[in-house]
């Protein structure tokens, strides 16, 4: 029997070891053997994390590495702390990695000749970084795992090094994210200078003894800048569409499904444990700033998503939109909103990964991910079309998908303080879901007139992409169809299994209780949180709002597909108004996404400066 204290480091060690084994034996083994090996390894990791989830229960699992346990509340050791939000995210990562591994069985039929083990090894290394980031209780370790997952993600994004666009996207991704990480490290240095501690809980305890001053605000802003870059919060989001639209499809599933969400998780964790104590940053201040940032991100992501014709870029911008909602949800700082966001993240991961997976089938068949170029060409793939459309409905929040439940709970938690927040949630999910439905209708049903090019500027079309596999004439491999179907079913299960919602409600209560975390991490005691367990069931209001966003998404998609074919003065006037708004607002917004490295770095500096000003006043 493995004790819980050993399960925590084991969860990080298993994928690391797997990566090493794959690199070593990958030279000699044939492709099917490598696929079997990596699948076994991914299953092992899921099992390990599921066991940890069960063992953790409604408390915390704490492990001081190397047995450096604290003596009278002081320790020089490094700690791993898992509560069900952290372990749950790690488990989500593990499950998604398993899906990606199975999806890739037949996906990369041309690995580098000598090194068939490279891609699965990188995937496992990526998993180790993400799981470590979710489970660490130490600020500097968080930076190291952050950089580990970052560096592997840059390599995976630029995996197809013979293709011009991936290498460009990977470079921008690498430079912007590394710069963000160095900002975090500067902040960690400042915090260490003030407290002499690196553990999250210990820093929190020490900071509570100091008066708040500019150093505290500066350290907070520097630390979260790196995390917000990862979370793609406007204006630090520019790298995301460039990276996600060019990365290999299996990698996109992981990037959009969990990596970006880990940035939001890190921000919330750092705030709750380190900065939310007495003399820290007040709840009201943080709520005002981060809800605003989340809403801005959500709106920019949704508007840009609607404009895209490159399918992967469209999905990437929808990730930006949804991450904005996640940030706004966690920034409400209530257990209910946190539980709702956790459900939303879990269901969104399934839906978004399924959408990327089906887009991968299109890329596989036609060597294109251009909505206009693929018009009517998907009619011989009805099952893929159905999956894509169901994914669009899931993204829009059709009940009983988990996305609808999570969204409803978060909306309900926020509407007292911000009565307009549900409207933002509805609009953003309708625009992103509607964009997917629009593409599905045009590509798979061939409905409406041929789409025409409306945007005058340069845009990323998605035509002429290199197919990621060799033989487009073969049948679509079975794993490439089964995996998205299973992922969608899982997203449905998140909304339907009442046990999961209840578990996450308890987990959110623990997550938002600083004392419970600190006591468990430093002293090893369990303290029951003082707040009541939030209610996360379906409500009539939630179902109505979710139906509203779904109907709005369908209407938007129909208007986009069939609108141009209608001939009436009213339609003409509406089109003229839309074009006017487009020229004044949307074209400038699209021009900002210039693909230029220097611009993105400048935006990062601007974003950080604005955050510093609003957090210091």
Partner 1 sequence: MTMLPFLAAGWIFLAGVYGMVTSRDIIHAVGCLAVTQSSTYVLLLTVGYRRGGIAPYFTDTPLRTRTVDPVVQALALTDVVVGATVTALLLALAIQIRKRHGTVDPDALTGLKG
Query: Among residues 60 and 593, whose Cβ is nearest to partner 1?
Result: 593
Q: How far is the CB of 272 from partner 1 (least distance, A)?
A: 24
Give the residue among 255, 542, 244, 553 at the shortest CA–CA distance from 392: 553
C-alpha to C-alpha distance for 599 and 145, rounded to whole angstroms: 27
> Does the protein bind partner 1 through residue 190 (CB under 8 A)?
yes
DSSP-based helix, strand, coil % in the chain, nearest 5: 70, 0, 25
Distance separating alpha carbons of residues 195 and 105, to the nearest angstrom: 49
Of the two residues 416 and 466, which places its CB atom closer to partner 1 in the complex? 466
* Helix ranges, 497-538 (H): 498-511, 514-518
Q: What is the contact mask toward partner 1 in residues 226 to 255, using x (rule: CB under 8 A)?
A: ---------------xx--xx---------
Q: List the structure tokens of 244.
A: 């996600």
User: Judged by CB, which is closer to partner 1: 151, or 559?
Assistant: 151
| Stretch of 200-208, 323-331, 406-414, 590-598 lying at the interface with partner 1 (CB under 8 A) | 590-598
Q: Rank residues 142 and 325 by Cβ distance to partner 1 and give the closer one.
A: 142
* Residue 595 is a binding residue for partner 1 (CB under 8 A): yes
* Closest to 137 (Cα-Cα) out of 524, 506, 532: 524
Q: What angle do CA 347, 352, 356 make, to 5 degrees?
A: 155
Provide the minimum distance between the beta carbon of 600 and partner 1 in the complex, in angstroms, as a whole number: 9
When binding is defined by CB under 8 A, the residue of 282, 458, 526, 531 that contacts partner 1 is: 458
At its nearest, how many Å lie between partner 1 and the CB of residue 323? 20
Segment holding 61, helix H or strand E: strand 61-64
Q: Cβ of residue 119: shortest distance to partner 1, in angstroms?
A: 16
Long-range (24+ apart) CB contacts under 8 A made by 200-203 are: 200/81, 200/137, 200/138, 200/139, 200/142, 200/269, 200/270, 200/273, 200/274, 200/517, 200/521, 201/79, 201/81, 201/137, 201/273, 201/517, 201/518, 201/521, 201/522, 202/75, 202/522, 203/139, 203/274
Rounded to whole angstroms, the Cα distance separating 257 from 395 reads: 12
- Distance (Å, rounded) from C-alpha 521 to C-alpha 63? 9
Interface segment toward partner 1; rule CB under 8 A; list 46-54, 163-171, 226-234, 256-264: 163-171
Cβ contact 411:395 at 8 Å: no
Q: Which is nearer to partner 1, 70 or 406 (CB)?
A: 70
Q: For residues 29 and 144, which CB has a smaller minimum distance to partner 1 in the complex?
A: 144
In order of 100, 362, 440, the CA distances from 481 in angstroms are 12, 11, 16
Is 591 among the residues that bind partner 1 (CB under 8 A)? yes
Task: Between 51 and 182, name the residue whose CB sits nearer to partner 1.
Answer: 182
CB of 17 to partner 1, least distance (A): 19
| Binding residue for partner 1, selected from 198, 254, 398, 439, defined by CB under 8 A | 198
Residue 542 touching partner 1 (CB under 8 A): no
Residue in 36, 161, 284, 566 binding partner 1, rule: CB under 8 A: 161
The one among 88, 94, 129, 150 contacting partner 1 by CB under 8 A:
150
Could you give the CA distance from residue 163 to residue 518 in angstroms, rounded to a whole number?
Answer: 48
Record the tokens describing residue 406, joined without a space.
């999570």
CB of 307 to partner 1, least distance (A): 7
Minimum Å gap between C-beta 214 and partner 1 is 12
Strand 79-82 versus strand 61-64 pairing type:
antiparallel
Pick one of 74, 162, 380, 471: the residue that binds partner 1 (CB under 8 A).
162
Distances (CA, A) of 256 to 242, 249, 373, 516: 12, 11, 24, 31
Residue 164 vs 498, nearer CB to partner 1: 164
Integer Cα distance of 382 and 360 in angstroms? 15
Tell me which residues in 290-329 interact with partner 1 (CB under 8 A). 307
Residue 291 beta carbon to partner 1: minimum distance, rounded to whole angstroms: 28
Residues that contact partner 1, how many (by CB under 8 A):
55
Strand partners, 71: 74
Q: Give the x-and-dash track for 598-617 against partner 1 (CB under 8 A).
A: xx-xx--x------------
Residue 462 interacts with partner 1 (CB under 8 A)? no
583 scored as a contact of partner 1 (CB under 8 A): no
**Could you say which of 158, 414, 422, 542 contacts partner 1 (CB under 8 A)?**
158
Distance of alpha carbon 428 from alpha carbon 416, whole angstroms? 20
Among 17, 50, 151, 502, binds partner 1 (CB under 8 A): 151
Distance in Å, CB of 26 to partner 1, minimum: 20
Question: CB under 8 A: which stretch of 15-23, 27-35, 177-185, 277-285 binds partner 1?
Answer: 177-185
- SS3 for 310? strand
Distance of CA 579 to the CA centre of its chain: 32
Binding residue (CB under 8 A) for partner 1 from 597, 610, 612, 614: 597
**Residue 402 binds to partner 1 (criterion: CB under 8 A):** no
The answer to the question of residue 445 lying near partner 1 (CB under 8 A) is no
State the Cα–Cα distance between residues 129 and 540, nearest whole angstrom.
40
Of the ranges 43-51, 262-270, 318-326, 585-593, which one interacts with partner 1 (CB under 8 A)?
Answer: 585-593
Q: Return the residue of 186, 482, 548, 610 that touches partner 1, per CB under 8 A.
A: 186
Judge whether 180 and 160 are in contact, CB under 8 Å: no
Residue 196: count of CB within 10 angstroms of its CB: 10
d(CA 548, CA 403): 14
Residue pair 479/103 in contact by the 8 Å Cβ criterion = yes
Residue in this structure with the two tokens 């605000």, named with its chain if needed: 217
Give the nearest distance from C-beta 416 to partner 1 in angstroms. Answer: 39
- Quick check: 193 binds partner 1 (CB under 8 A)? yes
Phi, psi of 531 (to 5 degrees): -75, 155
> Which of 192, 289, 493, 548 forms a contact with partner 1 (CB under 8 A)?
192
From 109-117, 174-182, 345-353, 409-417, give the range in contact with partner 1 by CB under 8 A: 174-182
What the block records as the tokens of 79 is: 């700690």
Q: Which residues bind partner 1 (CB under 8 A)?
A: 140, 144, 147, 150-151, 154-155, 158, 161-165, 167-172, 174-175, 178-179, 181-182, 185-186, 188-190, 192-193, 198, 241-242, 245-246, 307, 455, 457-460, 590-591, 593-599, 601-602, 605
């Amino acid at each position: 029997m493995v004790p819980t204290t050993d399960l925590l480091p084991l969860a990080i060690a298993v994928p690391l070891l797997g990566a090493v084994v794959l690199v070593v034996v990958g030279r000699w083994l044939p492709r099917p053997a490598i696929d079997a090996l990596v699948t076994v390894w991914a299953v092992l990791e899921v099992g390990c994390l599921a066991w940890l989830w069960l063992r953790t229960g409604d408390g915390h699992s704490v492990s001081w590495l190397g047995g450096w346990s604290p003596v009278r509340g002081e320790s020089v050791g490094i700690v791993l702390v898992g509560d069900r939000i952290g372990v749950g995210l790690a488990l989500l990562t593990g499950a998604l990695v398993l899906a990606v591994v199975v999806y890739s069985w037949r996906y990369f039929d041309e690995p580098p000749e000598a090194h068939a083990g490279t891609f699965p090894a990188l995937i496992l290394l990526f998993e180790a970084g993400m799981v470590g980031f979710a489970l660490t209780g130490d600020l500097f370790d968080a930076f190291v795992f952050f950089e580990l997952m970052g560096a592997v993600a840059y390599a995976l994004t630029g995996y197809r090094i013979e293709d011009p666009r991936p290498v460009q996207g990977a470079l921008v991704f690498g430079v912007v994210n590394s710069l963000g990480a160095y900002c975090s490290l500067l902040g960690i240095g400042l915090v260490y200078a003030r407290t002499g501690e690196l553990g999250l809980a210990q820093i929190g305890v020490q900071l509570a003894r100091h008066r708040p001053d500019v150093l505290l605000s500066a350290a907070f802003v520097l630390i979260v800048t790196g995390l917000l870059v990862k979370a793609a919060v406007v204006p630090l989001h520019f790298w995301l569409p460039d990276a996600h639209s060019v990365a290999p499809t299996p990698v996109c599933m992981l990037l959009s499904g969990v990596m970006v969400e880990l940035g939001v998780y890190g921000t919330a964790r750092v705030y709750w444990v380190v900065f939310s104590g007495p003399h820290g940053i007040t709840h009201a201040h943080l709520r005002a700033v981060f809800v605003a940032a989340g809403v801005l991100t959500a709106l920019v992501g949704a508007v840009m998503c609607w404009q895209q014709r490159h399918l992967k870029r469209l999905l990437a911008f929808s990730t930006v939109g949804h991450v904005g909602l996640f940030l706004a949800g966690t920034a409400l700082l209530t257990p209910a909103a946190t539980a709702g966001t956790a459900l939303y993240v879990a269901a969104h991961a399934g839906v978004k990964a399924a959408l990327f997976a089906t887009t991968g089938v299109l890329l596989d068949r036609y060597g294109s991910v251009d909505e206009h170029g693929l018009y009517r060409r998907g009619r011989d793939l009805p099952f893929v079309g159905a999956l894509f459309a169901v994914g669009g409905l899931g993204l829009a929040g059709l009940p009983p998908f988990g996305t609808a439940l999570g969204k409803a709970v978060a909306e309900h938690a926020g509407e007292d303080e911000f009565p307009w927040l549900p409207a933002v949630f509805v609009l953003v999910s309708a625009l992103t879901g509607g964009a997917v439905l629009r593409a599905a209708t045009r590509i798979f049903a061939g409905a409406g007139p041929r789409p025409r090019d409306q945007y005058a500027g340069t845009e990323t079309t998605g035509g002429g992409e290199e197919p990621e596999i060799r033989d487009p004439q073969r049948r679509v491999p079975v794993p490439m169809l089964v995996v998205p179907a299973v992922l969608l079913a899982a997203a449905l299960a998140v909304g339907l299994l009442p046990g999961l919602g209840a578990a996450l409600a308890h987990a959110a209560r623990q997550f938002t209780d600083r004392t419970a975390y600190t006591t468990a991490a430093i002293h090893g005691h369990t303290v029951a949180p003082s707040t009541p367990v939030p209610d996360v069931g379906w409500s009539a209001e939630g179902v109505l709002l979710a139906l509203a966003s779904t109907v709005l998404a369908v209407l938007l998609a129909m208007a986009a597909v069939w609108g141009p074919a209608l001939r009436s003065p009213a339609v003409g006037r509406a089109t003229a108004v839309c074009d006017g708004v487009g020229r004044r607002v949307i074209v400038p917004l699209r021009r900002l996404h210039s693909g230029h490295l220097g611009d993105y770095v400048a935006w990062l500096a601007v974003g950080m400066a604005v955050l510093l000003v609003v957090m210091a006043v």
